Chains A and B, each alone.
Chain A
Amino acid sequence: MARASTNNVRGPTSALTEFLRESGITRASVARRAATQNQQPQESVAGPSNSGNIGVSPDNNLNVEGNTGSTSRRARSASVSSNATPGDYASDELDESDESSAPLRKRRKTKASNAKQKGKPKKKEDDEDNDQEEDTYTALSRTLRSQSSSKRPPIGSFEDCAKCETRFTVSKYTISANPGPGFLCHHCAKAAGNDPFKKPAAQKKRKMPADKRQIPHFEERFPSLVSTCIHLITKHIDDVEALGDIGAVNLEAIAKALAKNRSLTPENAHLFYGVQNTSLILYDCTKLTSSALQTLPMLNPSLVTLRLDFCGQLDTDTFKAMSISLPHLERLELLGPFLVRSEAWIAFFKNHLRLKGFLITQCPRFGLECIKSLTSECQSLTELGLKEMKVDDGWLKEISAIGTLKCLDLSSPETSCSEEALVQLLRDIGPGLEALDLSKHESITDGFLDDGLGKWTGSLEKLFLQECPEITDRAVSRLFDTWIGSGHSASQGVDTRHEASLDGALNDVDGPIRSWNKMGRRRPTQQRRGRGRASVNNADVPPCQNGPLAVVDLARNRLLGSRSLLSIIRHSGTQLKSLNINGWKEVATESLQEVGNYAQELKKVDVGWCRNMDDSVLAGWVGINIPIEGSDRTTKGRCLKMIEVKVWGCNRVTGKFPMRRGVIIHGIESQTSG
């Protein structure tokens, strides 16, 4: 503004701005008008309003902020004369011609008189109400409205009362005289019937259109058949006979149906309870409160196995009660018992010395002292799962004391355990382990495969090593070759000649790979149990053998490829039931075909994001009526037991060929994207 007035450089302006500037209307003049009109409409008559030079000198008498007593007095004295002609101030009409001003003045007068008449009975109305009566034309813009709070002189300054003319201090509650100008002292304000302490009415909220229109959706008004049934079950829950006989299989299906809808409640949970129940699985306990969970052990006193998923409301007291009242419990599986503290776990172990299976997931309050208690109390533990927990090397030392352990799941730890500690763990309990899950232990490298799994296993049937980014193709291949009994010469390290022949086999898939697969697949396993602790130096220990695995899950290890896959199917092919090689991007088409040739027991395969997976491979697994080149006959896929194949991210698979019935193919891109 200041710059604009000193030099004449101006940017492009709209036609309206240009017009207003020519008429002498500036921001300053509008602000002044707003300030004066809002306070007392006549106040600014001090400056000649309709003489045509409004706003040319914006700072002349615009003194809104620093409205000291003297200026306000001047304003008031000026307003005395203007009171007689209240319509004189007509900056509104600036953009109108002189001819039209006469009727307009008349109209404003009548309006003012109307307001006066109205004003008499409504004297008590405060300023806010007056604001609302403004017509839209003269109403202030929003920015100016916010400025209008500064119309009052600064708090703490002195002011003469407009009525009784006594001097008073301006405070937060000072209100202007009505009719103005000036301000009222506290006494006069009260006498006039205004409550100075009245809070300004809350600003009107503009209703969002969405709030206004609340049309009940059809779905909300019309429950689905499932929810209707659930409600009926809940209603008749006390009268179990009315619900008819429920078989065990149906009960499982009902439990799943309820869990799927997250509708297992304290009321209908009784459907699954029974004094003779030995096994109970509740798939979603989100809505079971801690008191409902307390009744669970009371109503199912003979439980042997118990699994509760999403049991976030299971707290320390509830769990203590549970540990007292389930004397036969042997296997406990909990997902998400966040609230159970150490003392409750320890009490539980002391009460369940015969515990065989203990699997918990996501429990940050389970600490080292709990593990110590577990290992010392539960001597017959065969199954231990501590998934997504704060596992560390100290825990591993305790776990390695459990000689009976067969299944161990330490996957997805908060921070990975060290490789040495894991190797030491396998030295102690590895030969007895049947299932091992060390997924997401990022510190695992080839050394663990060579010195741990390659030397201290023997009865392993299920192996899960997802997302261990350090392990390499050669090491995995070596491991499975070791387990067969080939690949290593007894106590020497890696046989380089064998590695070279492997490379040759991979380069020329059609030739050597066949002969390669004719090598023995299964040798008698070596019994090594109990030997571990006596051994002095790990490096001297010869590699061990291990029978074929049923489950191999090495997903998301992107360094792994054909070499590993061929070794796996050569070692475990005859027994393999589930194979997960998700994310092995480099694995070759030919080696995937070998899966179909040798792993005929396979039921589930996940080959997601294997780039070379294509229709020919899939047809070789599960296809039917595949024409043989050069003859009229057809053949069919060789994985006759396959029930599920996942091919997410394999964009060369189209699935457009005849397939055996009963096989479910998940994730064919052309089918899912549509």
Chain B
Amino acid sequence: MSSNKLPNAPETSNEAKDTDWVRVTSADGFAFLIRRKIANVSGTMRSMLDTQSNYAEAVSSTCPVEQRGIIVEKMLEYMSFRAHYEGVGSKEEVLIHEITERIPPEIVLELLLAADYQEGALNHTSLSTIPNVL
């Protein structure tokens, strides 16, 4: 990460650690603080918060998502759930129903649009291989 850093540059800002806190804001003014590791689940957020880039989002570690607060909350919930299971072994069972049960049907369409906007793990679809969770 710090390979192309100038030798005299201060050590403080350019290091990106998984345990950093980043802020995700919603369209209606809610703000959520999450670990960078969780934000990296979304490819879009990862690019926005990439410390090597000079985007305003990266500089301020704040990533706006143009959705309602409850949608952003659910999305981040999914992301942290996913980040939690990222490193587990193949034997361990993924309790996917835990997250599906937490998504109320009232917001599922909006959530779909929000997820559709994000790149990466939120948006891959392999419907044929999805276990029958419902």
| A positions within 8 Å CB-CB of B | 215-216, 218-236, 239, 242-244, 246, 250, 253-254, 257, 260-263
Contact = CB atoms under 8 A, between A and B. Distances in A.
Interface string B97-111: 001100101111111
B8 interface: no
A229 B90 contact: no
Interface in B112-127: 112-113, 115-116, 118, 121-127
B96 A222 contact: yes
Nearest to B125: A261
B54 to A, nearest CB: 13
Chain A CB count within 10 A is highest, among B99, B112, B124, for B112
A226 B109 contact: no
A229 B108 contact: yes
Contacts of A228: 78, 96, 99-100, 103, 133
Given A215-B90, A225-B78, A225-B122, A233 B96 contact: no
A75 B133 CA distance: 71
B131 interface: yes
A244 B71 CA distance: 13
B123 A233 contact: no
A227 B82 CA distance: 14
B130 interface: yes
B112 A257 contact: yes
A233 B109 CA distance: 7
Contacts of B133: 223, 228, 231
19 contacts: A219-B121, A220-B129, A221-B131, A223-B130, A226-B125, A228-B100, A229-B108, A229-B115, A230-B125, A232-B134, A235-B105, A235-B134, A242-B106, A243-B109, A244-B107, A250-B113, A254-B113, A257-B112, A261-B127
A231 B108 CA distance: 10
Given A232-B100, A233-B112, A221 B134 contact: no
A224 B90 contact: no
A236 B111 CA distance: 15
Grouping DSSP codes into helix (H, G, I), strand (E, B) and loop, the B interface class, with mixed when no group exceeds half, is helix
B105 A236 contact: yes
Nearest to B85: A222
B31 interface: no
Contacts of A230: 112, 125, 127
Nearest to A265: B127
A521 to B, nearest CB: 41
B115 A224 contact: yes
Nearest to B93: A221
Contacts of B34: none
B94 A233 contact: no
Nearest to A287: B127
Contacts of B113: 250, 253-254, 257
B65 interface: no
A199 to B, nearest CB: 37
Contact of A216 (B90, B123, B124, B125): B90
A229 B103 contact: yes
A216 B125 CA distance: 16
Contacts of B123: 224-226
B59 interface: no
A250 to B, nearest CB: 7
Contacts of A234: 134
Contacts of B129: 219-220
A257 B116 contact: yes
B125 A263 contact: yes
A262 B103 CA distance: 22
Contacts of A233: 108-109, 112
A263 B105 contact: no
Grouping DSSP codes into helix (H, G, I), strand (E, B) and loop, the A interface class, with mixed when no group exceeds half, is helix
B16 interface: no
Contacts of B130: 220, 223, 227, 231
A221 B121 CA distance: 12
Chain B CB count within 10 A is highest, among A221, A233, A253, for A221
A237 to B, nearest CB: 10
A516 B2 CA distance: 56
A227 B85 contact: no
A220 to B, nearest CB: 4
A535 B105 CA distance: 67
A250 B134 CA distance: 25
B20 to A, nearest CB: 23
Chain B CB count within 10 A is highest, among A221, A224, A236, A253, for A224
Contacts of A244: 105-107, 109-110
A225 to B, nearest CB: 4
B94 A229 contact: no
B96 A254 contact: no
B115 to A, nearest CB: 4
Contacts of B90: 215-216
Contacts of B112: 226, 229-230, 233, 254, 257
B100 A224 contact: no
A219 B131 CA distance: 11
Nearest to A235: B134
Nearest to A224: B124
Given A227-B126, A228-B99, A260-B116, 8 more contacts: A218-B85, A225-B111, A225-B123, A226-B112, A228-B133, A235-B105, A243-B108, A257-B112
A242 to B, nearest CB: 4
A613 B123 CA distance: 36
A68 B121 CA distance: 73
Given A223-B133, A224-B123, A226-B123, A232 B105 contact: yes
Contacts of A226: 112, 115-116, 122-125
The 4 closest A-B pairs by CB, nearest first: A229-B112, A225-B115, A257-B116, A261-B125
A660 to B, nearest CB: 17
A218 B92 CA distance: 11
A250 B111 CA distance: 11
A233 B104 CA distance: 10
A225 B75 contact: yes
Contacts of B131: 220-221, 223
Contacts of A257: 112-113, 116
A219 B129 CA distance: 9
Contacts of A223: 96, 125-126, 130-131, 133
Contacts of B125: 223-224, 226-227, 230, 261-263
Interface in B26-76: 75
